[in-house]
Amino acid sequence: MDRRTALQRIGVLMGGGLSASTIAGVLGGCSAGREGERFIARTLTEGKDQLVATLAELIIPETDTPGARAARVHEFIDNMLTDWYEEEEAQAFLEGLDDLEQRVRVFGGDSFLGLNQEDQVAFLTKLEEEAYAWQNAGQDGETPFFSTIKSLTLFGYYTSEVGATQELRVMPMGEYRGDVPFEEIGRAWA
Amino acid sequence: MIPKSVRIAPRRKTYDVLVVGSGISGGYAAKELCELGLETLVLERGRSLEHGVGYVTEHKRSWEFPARNSKGSRVHKMRFAVQSRTYAFGEHTEHFFIDDSENPYVEINPFTWIRADVVGGRSLLWGRQCYRWSNLDFEANQRDGIGIDWPIRYADIAPWYEYVERFVGISGQAEGWDPCPDGEFLPAMPLNRGEQVVKERMARVHKDRILTIGRAAVLTQPHNGRGACHYCGPCHRGCTPGAYFSSQSATLPAAAATGHLTLQPDSIVHSVIYDDETGRATGVRYIDRVTGQMQEAKARIIFLCASALASTQIMLNSKSRRFPNGLGNDSGALGHYLMDHHFQVGAAGELPGLENSYYLGVRPNGIYVPRFRNVSRASARSDYVRGFGYQGGAFRPSWNRPQRGFGISLKQALRQPGPWTMLFEAFGEALPQYENHVVLDGNVTDKWGIPVLRISCTWGENEMVMRQDMMQSAVDMLEAAGATNIAPYDNFVTEGLGAEPGLGIHEMGTARMGHDPQTSVLNSHNQVHSVPNVFVTDGACMTSSACQNPSITYMALTARAAHFAADELKRLNL
């Protein structure tokens, strides 16, 4: 298979030529077979799933490709908390959400979801700066909640079908080339 | 030794040969012995697995795994506490690994024992790197006055390297580098742009080293009925075309094709049965893991290929009037001189100026810088003996690299791959030390009632001094290559998990070869000195460790021993 064919094949894999919404529909339909099935949070109950979905979407927003909400990152995080994590780890995550809400009140709001988007971004910017300082100071002590939810969001997004195929590119199979002009691929491999 | 309540049901048939284990060594023994016309029974402790059909995660995408191919779940912590420590373990391979909760061992010092539990063993999971040893390695113990001399030299094994390489199919580049002799190679995989640049710049500064593409048991063209690599990436999930060598893809089918192979999974060997009258082994006792019952199997010759520590465990557990301390253990060397390669030390750096280049496909192979220390008078070190090689490669990190911020700017930044990054990771030789050893635990048994191993193993001073050079020499090469942001690393943690022995999954020694029955367990043909119809051809036989990945040497030694055993059988010496 020559390079052009390979790249065309990538195009097919990526749904080249189809509109983003068509793809989202197709992909949504084949992911975990939950078409029409409503997500019911098992650990992120009492609206916490919406808080996580909003935070994740702020971290990876919709642009010309879908964001974290469309990639169902909050569902992924709920699955991890429920099926994968130790109880204490899941508990720590939930406490992180509670702490965040507490800080929103110090910040002058009622709840994170009650803030307008500008204030949400300003608030998260503050948390990001703290996390960055923690990272530069040798990562001593407890991991800041921002770092936890950011890495879970990135992991959940870029390993999702949406993140891997629409935002990034899935590595094709068939050949290896060790020096390809970047513009022929155009995105990072997922 | 054997619980009285257990019924022993002797099998009627006496095989010519009984092979314990179906991994790299056992698979090779089975192939050779069957092709030599011998009726061969292979006992494998793991469950049955069918080539292709059993590779249940092959080509699965990340989103098709419940946790996106992670490790560290509650179940992993409970059942795979040790196996989780290796890179190869995860949602995509957990079905190949042993259940640590049923098969414990005692770590006196941190020692990671990675084990498979399926037909094909760790040959399904291995790193596929194949490097010949040279006389530099076979003469090392004698030259340095450390341990005992190898009873063989390069000339003894060279034809067998050639023999197995032709069957296995190894892609690589001939370099004419004496410490790491060339073999029979299929066309090499290409270096990528970053590696090519590093190679060229390094060559200008470091005339004492070379950088070459890894020599990998992965086919670059169809070979012996197996298909070429399609560069999907994670070989260790299994490969239906058989592009990487495993017992499943290559040796077991070849053995089966002769009509002489009987392969019996779910058979956990307990001990070798020794007949005091004849001075020969007559078979093995094993536990049928489905029924839990003890059984016996009989054969004229036994090949122990269960992996270094498992074969040694079987021998230690084979007690008789003649051998109260374990089969063939007149020397007291059985269980001692445990070695592994020490690694997880090196350096990485960024290669600026190549942003317009990327790659396509996942090459299941990296680069190799063969040993260049203590190979000549000019390269001799005063601070340590032996040497190391580098593996690694150049790549562009993707979304999982550190990237500050959140929102649109973060998403835009991660659309692009990160900077070209070159990694050199050293694999160093470890010396054979008596103190690094295993014994049977007096109290703890596994689920099958077999005494577990107590493993006591630490890196010595030579290894620790070598590690400083392993790190510094990597930095030197990166500097020569014009790399920036060079980050040296050494993951070793005293008394902790990091770069502890075992993690290299090249555990070897514990039933070493040698000239003298007073100091070694096996002779120059991997034959137990004092029990001539028992052969040990896995990593247990190794007298020193060299720094090259060992599997191809196990295969060459196994094929050599198999032909010797068949000849001896014909001459009625066995």
DSSP A98-159: HHHHHHHHHHT-S-GGGS-HHHHHHHHHHHHHHHHHHHHTT--SSPPHHHHHHHHHHHHHHT
d(CA B218, CA B215): 9
- Candidate from A31, A79, A172 with C-beta closest to B66: A79
3-state SS assignment for residue B552: helix
d(CA B199, CA B205): 10
φ and ψ at residue B299, rounded to 5 degrees = -160, 160
Tell me the residues of chain A between 15 and 34 that have a Cβ less than 8 Å away from chain B: 31
Q: Over the Cα atoms of chain B, what is R_g?
A: 23
Number of domains in chain A: 2
Residues A129 and A73 reside in one and the same domain: yes
| CA distance, residue B412 to nearest chain A CA (Å) | 9
Side-chain half-sphere of B394: how many Cα atoms within 13 Å? Answer: 31
Domain extent, residue A20, equals 1-31+168-190
- Do A113 and B399 form a contact (C-beta atoms < 8 A)? no
| CA distance, residue B50 to nearest chain A CA (Å) | 24
- Candidate from B193, B362, B412 with C-beta closest to A179: B193
Residues A72 and A117 reside in one and the same domain: yes
- Candidate from A63, A85, A181 with C-beta closest to B408: A63
φ and ψ at residue B17, rounded to 5 degrees = -135, 145
- Residue B405 within a domain: yes
Residues A51 and A99 reside in one and the same domain: yes
Residues A127 and A96 reside in one and the same domain: yes
Q: Which two tokens stand for residue A172?
A: 């094709």
| CA distance, residue A87 to nearest chain B CA (Å) | 9
- Residue B127 within a domain: no
Residue A137, Cα to own-chain centre: how many angstroms?
A: 26
Q: What is the pLDDT of residue A116?
A: 97
d(CA B328, CA B302): 13
Residues A153 and A100 reside in one and the same domain: yes
Residues A130 and A102 reside in one and the same domain: yes
User: Which tens digits make up the pLDDT trace of B70-99?
Assistant: 999 999 999 999 999 999 999 999 999 999
d(CA A56, CA B89): 28
- Residue B93 within a domain: no
Q: Which of A78, A77, A83, A85 is nearest to A156 (CA)?
A: A77
Which chain A residues touch B418 with a CB distance below 8 Å? 188
- Residue B252 within a domain: no
Residues A98 and A149 reside in one and the same domain: yes
3-state SS assignment for residue B161: helix
| CA distance, residue A105 to nearest chain B CA (Å) | 22
Please give the interface size between A and B, counted as residue pairs whose CB atoms are below 8 Å apart: 147
Residues A2 and A56 reside in one and the same domain: no
Tell me the residues of chain A between 146 and 165 that have a Cβ less than 8 Å away from chain B: 150, 154-156, 158-161, 164
Residues A21 and A83 reside in one and the same domain: no
Domain extent, residue B211, equals 175-239+342-428+458-500
d(CA B512, CA B536): 9
Residues A63 and A134 reside in one and the same domain: yes
The amino acid at B228: A
- Candidate from A63, A171, A178 with C-beta closest to B411: A63
Chain-chain contact of B68 with A175 (C-beta, under 8 angstroms): no
The pTM for the full model equals 0.93
Residues A137 and A54 reside in one and the same domain: yes
Q: Which of B203, B210, B549, B197 is nearest to B349 (CA)?
A: B197
- Candidate from B195, B360, B414 with C-beta closest to A177: B360
Q: Does any CB of chain B come closer than 8 Å to the CB of residue A58?
A: yes
| CA distance, residue A79 to nearest chain B CA (Å) | 8
Chain-chain contact of A174 with B408 (C-beta, under 8 angstroms): no
Residues 6+ apart with CB under 8 A from B2: B8, B270, B285, B294
d(CA B268, CA B284): 10
Mutate to test the interface with B, among A78, A124, A182 (most CBs of B within 10 A): A182
Chain-chain contact of B399 with A188 (C-beta, under 8 angstroms): yes
- Candidate from A158, A176, A187 with C-beta closest to B360: A176
Number of domains in chain B: 1
Q: Which residues, given as ranges, of chain A have pLDDT below 70?
A: 1-37
Chain-chain contact of B61 with A170 (C-beta, under 8 angstroms): yes
Where do we find the tokens 């060229």?
A: B200
- Do B526 and B536 form a contact (C-beta atoms < 8 A)? yes
Q: What is the pLDDT of residue B573?
A: 82
* Burial B394-407, CB ≥16 within 10 A → b, else e: bbbebbeeebeebb
8-state DSSP, A35:
T
- Residue B220 within a domain: yes
Which chain A residues touch B231 with a CB distance below 8 Å? 173-176
Q: Does any CB of chain B come closer than 8 Å to the CB of residue A166?
A: no
- Residue B7 within a domain: no
| CA distance, residue B465 to nearest chain A CA (Å) | 27
The partner residues of B74 in beta bridges, in order of sequence, read none
Residues A126 and A86 reside in one and the same domain: yes
pLDDT tens across the length of chain B (574 residues): 344 444 454 557 899 999 999 999 999 999 999 999 999 999 999 999 999 999 999 999 999 999 999 999 999 999 999 999 999 999 999 999 999 999 999 999 999 999 999 999 999 999 999 999 999 999 999 999 999 999 999 999 999 999 999 999 999 999 999 999 999 999 999 999 999 999 999 999 999 999 999 999 999 999 999 999 999 999 999 999 999 999 999 999 999 999 999 999 999 999 999 999 999 999 999 999 999 999 999 999 999 999 999 999 999 999 999 999 999 999 999 999 999 999 999 999 999 999 999 999 999 999 999 999 999 999 999 999 999 999 999 999 999 999 999 999 999 999 999 999 999 999 999 999 999 999 999 999 999 999 999 999 999 999 999 999 999 999 999 999 999 999 999 999 988 999 999 999 999 999 999 999 999 999 999 999 999 999 999 999 999 999 999 999 999 999 999 999 999 999 988 8
Residue B441, Cα to own-chain centre: how many angstroms?
A: 25
